[in-house]
Structure 1
Amino acid sequence: MAEFPYCLILSSCLAWFVFLVAIELSLAESTGYGFMIDLIHRDSPKSPSYNPSARLVDRHLHALRRSLSRIKHLRRRTNRPSWRSSKKDVQSELSPAGGEYYMEIALGTPPLPTLGIADTGSDLTWTQCKPCRPCYPQDPPIFDPKRSLTYNLVPCRSDACHMLGNNGFCSQERTCQYNYGYGDGSVSKGDLATESITLGLNSSLPVTVPGVPVGCGHNNTGIFDSKGSGIIGLGGGPLSLISHMDHLIQGKFSYCLVPFTTPNATSKINFGECAILSGEGVASTPLIRKSPGTFYYITLESISLGTKNLPPKISNAKDLSSLANEVGNMIVDSGTTYNFIPTELYKPFESALLKVIQTPQVQVPEMGLCFNTTTDLAAPPVILQLTGANLLLKSANIFTRLSDDAVCLTIFPTRDVPILGNFGQADFEVGFDLEKRTVSFKPTDCTGSS
């Protein structure tokens, strides 16, 4: 990973000894500040969910199923007719409760550490809270709001409550409550509150963000991971942790995801000055404002295989669907493993790919295009032509090995929501600047910082 001389790496094991209020004031007044923390993939040996007996092919199939489930329900949250959503879906159903990366935060004062799913497709951060009736099994201690000095319920007439839309409602005490139903049938209900969130609790200089909207879940059921507690909202909406760190990070964050095949390495997420991408090889494209504002939308114009453009620029194509013609027709998402492109673009891409790869195909249940080979595939680079930028994907971004003799394509066709997933983003520093409304990509060895 690129070096950031002024960045704090919040992953050391030093004692908590800095007075939190002093930290908050110093950070708010400082300039040129940034920090970095770990993202732990759910299949990493460092993850509490790690299953050492799982085969590589099983990990891939589970990741694909999570990706397909996620894309289905991200579609429901988009507010465009071409993505076949409805107003009811947008307001009442979120993407599946599962996720790909854990992130450690600490809630309250004094801070209680916990692991949550880091999700760029969610805004509200929520956790299980006492009293909890019913709750799903959770290994970390459950947060008790009565023990926190900085926990405050949010009134019904507050802006934060209104931002919940149909997911918010008013209690008899006139305080705001939330009700989130996820696409996989999971549910979280509870109080909306403001609370302090601390990042890098055990580092030499923890970062505390006061007054973050937090869902305090008292009724949580469904397919949640017992190793963590809830969701950490890293989306682009006003309720997200990213938005409420704006005074510290000026709308800048980035991450560097290690390849799927290097589970022993650790991915990183950077905030503030650490997230500024510069130097040779940086490609930047506009972030498109669309509803809902949670997601990070970009525009895919066309795809090239080597020097062959497939097909003509979308803006000039007559026979493509309205989805492919849309500005902001793709989501950059850390919670989806595989890549998904419009079917109209995928068909000519696959045809051209099969002309240059002479390796015999092999059928792998549930997977798409796969090849029977014990060696790496020799294929020309794939270039995603985005607005104002060409994103060159290497072989490791578009192919993955499932077994000793099977290599499969990581790109799938979709008529739902096109997504640039983790495979497409691996070994790139992916930097978001929400003030300039851009996302940038810089080729980087993300394992170098682990």
Structure 2
Amino acid sequence: MGNPFTSFSFFFFFFFTAIWLTSASPSPSVTLTLIPANSNLSPFKSSPSPPSLDQINAHDKARLIYLDNLIAKTDVPVGSGRQFQQAGNYLVKANVGTPGQTLFMVMDTSNDAAWVPCSGCTGCSSPTLFTLEQSTTFKPLQCGAAQCRQVSNSYCTLSDCHFNMTYGDSSFEALLSVDSLTLASSTIPSYAFGCLKSVTGTSIPPQGLLGLGRGPLSLLSQAGTLYQKTFSYCLPNAKSMNFSGSLRLGPVGQPTRILYTPLLTNPRRPSLYYVNMTGIKVGRRTVNIPPNVLAFDPTTGAGTIFDSGTMVTRLVAPAYVAVRDEFRRRINQPVTSLGGFDTCYSTPIVPPTITFQFDGMNMTLPEENVLIHSTYGTTSCLAMAAAPVNVNSVVNVIATMQQQNHRVLYDIPNSRLGVSRELCT
């Protein structure tokens, strides 16, 4: 099969990733197919040019600013970014309203509230909007509704509940509403979401966002027993123009041969999926990382999370430096930098494996999850980076490139997260 990461252009394929229905029969569990936006199967064939390494770096820095500020219940400061903020995202094909109107909504495991661009929206970038006037089941929520107290930054206009939010380099104002939401063969009849009325900036997902976080307004919470608060995904790598991964909602069909680590709850960032990372190995050597650097701390919000929106794993500086230095020592060749990556090589290398160690399980990364390769020449780089120096993130993020070709299972009822190798093609 060869190395699937022969070009940084694979990030382009993930600018938008569509999720399609694969099962039409009613079931408490549904499996949906992930399609990269610029593959031959994608409806988003006309996406812009692939992002540069600098743009990828800026995307992840902005994402970490967003994650860092989830610690607060106030407005999140706007981070740097442009339209390439959509890099690394995955879309779910959803039908909203009655009759259903199809939208491709970004799947975000670190966000709770859903929102869609609605008719009359000022600043929405998508030509496809949810026409609320055509839905017989659409209803705005009033200020006394429980959901109005659950969403951040809510306020009242007359008797209707609104809320503000920032996301990437954008901010928006939305009317909190309820309507029918259908994913594959399953329907949630009264789903609370934000109906976007005005948007500033360029990084709001064009056709909306569906939160798969852990809060009361997330898909898992609002679905009740439908999916039993269980889901998994397998993210593919971009080795061809015709490939797919999968999102599986519900307990049926989940892997049985899989190792788990406990999910941790952090009240400082309650929506995020925290796990306890105990160490990192480069090859067979566990690198020297001070225990407090990896420690889970519910007081500060520190720890390690799995995230569906960050592209390249980010480690707090002391952890990254320890991994990077051991990686360099093992390669023992001259090092260059490129596009924000500081450990690159101009000649072909055979990298050591990197293993993330968690309570109860290890996640060993093969070469395809460790190296990324430049579009031109033979330069390859360690596909990890330090958290931005201007962000007090205190969060290590296991990102999508390192998750690719793994089945990642979120089992909320049993408070655990599982990872197993799987060819997601």
Whose radius of gyration is greater, 1 or 2?
Answer: 1
| Partner residue in 1 for 2:155 | 169
Residue among 122, 138, 143 paired with 2:126: 138
1:247 aligns with 2:225: yes
1:191 aligns with 2:165: no
Query: Structure 2: which amino acid aligns with 1:331?
Result: I
Query: Structure 1: which amino acid aligns with 2:225?
Result: H
Instruction: Pick closer, same or farther for the CA change 1:52–1:241 going to 2, 3 Å.
Output: closer
* CA deviation vs aligned residue, 1:364-402 (integer Å, no higher than 9, x gap): 2322311112x4x32222111112211111111111112
1:208 aligns with 2:187: yes
1:37 aligns with 2:32: yes
Of all paired residues, the percent bearing the same amino acid is 25
**Do the aligned partners of 1:93 and 1:180 also contact (CA within 8 Å) in 2?**
no
Alignment of 1:2-17 (within 5 A): 11=21
1:258 aligns with 2:245: no
1:62 aligns with 2:46: no
Matches of 1:54 and 1:390 in 2, distance apart? 36
* CA deviation vs aligned residue, 1:108-144 (integer Å, no higher than 9, x gap): 0100001121111221111111233x1323232x212
1:179 aligns with 2:159: no
| Partner residue in 2 for 1:407 | 380
| Partner residue in 1 for 2:66 | 73
Query: Structure 2: which amino acid aligns with 1:305?
Result: V
**Do the aligned partners of 1:301 and 1:387 also contact (CA within 8 Å) in 2?**
yes
Instruction: Pick closer, same or farther for the CA change 1:423–1:137 going to 2, 3 Å.
Output: closer
Gaps of 5+ in 2: 1-18
Deviation, 1:292, is 2.7
Alignment of 1:78-157 (within 5 A): 78=71, 88-89=74-75, 98-99=85-86, 100-132=89-121, 134-140=122-128, 142-157=129-144
Deviation, 1:89, is 5.0
| Partner residue in 2 for 1:362 | 336
Deviation, 1:219, is 1.5
**Do the aligned partners of 2:328 and 2:343 also contact (CA within 8 Å) in 1?**
no
**SS, match of residue 322 in structure 2:** helix
1:220 aligns with 2:205: no
Query: Structure 2: which amino acid aligns with 1:155?
Result: Q
Residue among 316, 321, 338 paired with 1:347: 321
Query: Structure 1: which amino acid aligns with 2:154?
Result: G
**SS, match of residue 249 in structure 1:** coil
Matches of 1:88 and 1:246 in 2, distance apart? 28
1:295 aligns with 2:259: no
Deviation, 1:304, is 1.0
| Partner residue in 1 for 2:345 | 371
Deviation, 1:224, is 4.1
Matches of 2:339 and 2:109 in 1, distance apart? 29
| Partner residue in 2 for 1:83 | none
Instruction: Pick closer, same or farther for the CA change 1:446–1:260 going to 2, 3 Å.
Output: same
Query: Structure 2: which amino acid aligns with 1:145?
Result: L
Deviation, 1:207, is 1.8
Query: Structure 2: which amino acid aligns with 1:285?
Result: T
Matches of 1:407 and 1:398 in 2, distance apart? 10
* CA deviation vs aligned residue, 1:44-70 (integer Å, no higher than 9, x gap): 454454458846xx4554333211110
Matches of 2:342 and 2:252 in 1, distance apart? 37
Matches of 2:49 and 2:118 in 1, distance apart? 32
**Do the aligned partners of 1:284 and 1:438 also contact (CA within 8 Å) in 2?**
yes
* CA deviation vs aligned residue, 1:330-361 (integer Å, no higher than 9, x gap): 11011111001121122222121112113433
Matches of 1:162 and 1:433 in 2, distance apart? 27
Residue among 297, 300, 304 paired with 1:326: 297
CA RMSD of aligned residues (A): 2.7
**SS, match of residue 221 in structure 2:** helix
Matches of 1:68 and 1:50 in 2, distance apart? 27
**SS, match of residue 327 in structure 2:** helix
Matches of 1:368 and 1:93 in 2, distance apart? 26
Matches of 2:398 and 2:38 in 1, distance apart? 20
Matches of 1:62 and 1:363 in 2, distance apart? 15
Matches of 1:12 and 1:297 in 2, distance apart? 30
**Do the aligned partners of 2:336 and 2:342 also contact (CA within 8 Å) in 1?**
no
**Do the aligned partners of 1:362 and 1:372 also contact (CA within 8 Å) in 2?**
yes
Matches of 1:249 and 1:293 in 2, distance apart? 20
Instruction: Pick closer, same or farther for the CA change 1:366–1:50 going to 2, 3 Å.
Output: farther
Instruction: Pick closer, same or farther for the CA change 1:154–1:54 going to 2, 3 Å.
Output: closer
**Do the aligned partners of 1:10 and 1:35 also contact (CA within 8 Å) in 2?**
no
The number of equivalent residue pairs is 393
The TM-score, its normalising length taken from structure 2, stands at 0.84
**Do the aligned partners of 1:45 and 1:52 also contact (CA within 8 Å) in 2?**
no
**After the TM superposition, which of the residue ranges 409-418 and 100-109 deviates more from structure 2?**
409-418
Query: Structure 2: which amino acid aligns with 1:446?
Result: C
Matches of 2:334 and 2:311 in 1, distance apart? 25
| Partner residue in 2 for 1:84 | none
Gaps of 5+ in 1: 1-8, 28-32, 80-86, 201-205
**SS, match of residue 116 in structure 1:** strand
Instruction: Pick closer, same or farther for the CA change 1:51–1:175 going to 2, 3 Å.
Output: closer
Matches of 1:296 and 1:118 in 2, distance apart? 14
Query: Structure 2: which amino acid aligns with 1:237?
Result: G
Query: Structure 2: which amino acid aligns with 1:351?
Result: D
**Do the aligned partners of 1:339 and 1:424 also contact (CA within 8 Å) in 2?**
yes
| Partner residue in 1 for 2:405 | 427
Matches of 2:382 and 2:242 in 1, distance apart? 23
Instruction: Pick closer, same or farther for the CA change 1:250–1:52 going to 2, 3 Å.
Output: closer
Instruction: Pick closer, same or farther for the CA change 1:287–1:442 going to 2, 3 Å.
Output: same
